[in-house]
Amino acid sequence: MIEIVYGGNKAVLEGIRLSSLSICKHCSKPILFYILTMDLRNVSNRYQPINEEEVDELKSQLRTLNPDVDVRLYDLTQKYLMENKYKRDIHHSYTPYCLLRLFSYQIEDIGDKVIYLDVDTMAYGNIEELFNIDITDYELAGVKDAMGKYWINPKYINSGVLLINMKKVRETSSFERALKYTLSHRSILIDQNAINHYCKKKLYLENKFNNQRKMTDDTLIKHFCKVLKFFPFMHCENIKQWHIDKVRNKLQIHHFDDIYKIYFDLTKKRTSVNHKD
């Protein structure tokens, strides 16, 4: 059983849908998706949680590609509020939902090894290749951050795609310490910085497992993360896979057109059913 974790709210549900569809398109092995969410409308009206009905619909859609799929929803609102004594959004440029990966060690259902994926990732190959990497002696495996390896540390890992040895992480308490740090400090990329600092035993993977730049033939996972552009002026480009027209026309990426077709077909079917109701 391949286990995969996402974290987010209703605003990024379509990202999770596209990402998980791409995984199921390329992998026929049994897959268990964990979706971690929170209801933080007290912080912002934008922070609405994903609900069970939406997860059931997603599960049904994914099973059209892979019948051996399950999707489980975990609402971590109370855990977050108990841990976050400041009861506020601690990030500048990211939402509190980026912390959910650090709560994963507290979920007993998650097995000894799990893949964590940001919602802005797409599979272009069989994710089983990543899951089967031996990390017995490591806390986690990941790819160096495309910018951070130059500006922060040559060994700085991007936390958007992680293969986590949950058994070892629970033993070393690295995620627990990283979580406490992120909830008591404020800075850009604080959760990623904490993971890099507190997880001491890391296995460095090839770029294909978390391609943060242009698509390559061997790409397994494409990460649609922020990219710093210098022309015609310095700016951040932040195109996600659900910005379909921009992905095709601006990024000139057509590798996921098959997934987009499946997505559009399922969306039409969903709309048709809703109209009948």
CATH of the domain at 169: 3.90.550.10
Q: How far apart are CA 214 and CA 143, in angstroms?
A: 15
CB neighbours of 135 closer than 8 A, spacing ≥ 6?
Answer: 113, 141, 163, 165, 203
Within-domain flag for 212? yes
Question: For residue 118, what pLDDT is reported?
Answer: 98
CB neighbours of 140 closer than 8 A, spacing ≥ 6?
Answer: 157, 162, 163, 164, 165, 169, 195, 199, 202, 203
Within-domain flag for 250? no
CB neighbours of 53 closer than 8 A, spacing ≥ 6?
Answer: none
Separation of first and last alpha carbons in the chain? 36
Within-domain flag for 62? yes
Query: To 10 degrees, what angle do helices 257-276 and 52-62 make?
Result: 130
Q: How far apart are CA 241 and CA 247, in angstroms?
A: 6
Full pLDDT tens readout for the chain, 277 residues: 999 999 999 999 999 999 999 999 999 999 999 999 999 998 889 999 999 999 999 999 999 999 999 999 999 999 998 887 655 555 555 788 989 999 999 999 999 999 999 999 999 999 999 999 999 999 999 999 998 898 899 999 999 999 999 999 999 999 999 999 988 877 778 889 999 999 999 999 999 999 999 999 999 999 999 886 666 666 678 899 999 999 999 999 999 999 999 999 999 887 766 645 5
Amino acid in position 21: L
Within-domain flag for 254? no
- Two tokens at 12? 């990024």
Q: How far apart are CA 60 and CA 262, in angstroms?
A: 13
Within-domain flag for 245? no
Within-domain flag for 248? no
Paired with 31 in beta bridges are 2, 69
Within-domain flag for 53? yes
Q: Which residue has the tokens 């996972």?
A: 221
CA angle 200, 202, 136 (to 5 degrees): 105
Helix (H/G/I), strand (E/B), else coil: 106: helix
| Cβ(157)–Cβ(204) below 8 Å | yes
Within-domain flag for 251? no
Query: In terms of residue numbers, what domain contains 39?
Result: 2-225
Helix (H) / strand (E) containing 166: helix 166-172
Q: Which residue has the tokens 């929170």?
A: 38
Question: For residue 189, what pLDDT is reported?
Answer: 80
Question: For residue 125, what pLDDT is reported?
Answer: 98
User: How many domains does one find in the chain?
Assistant: 1
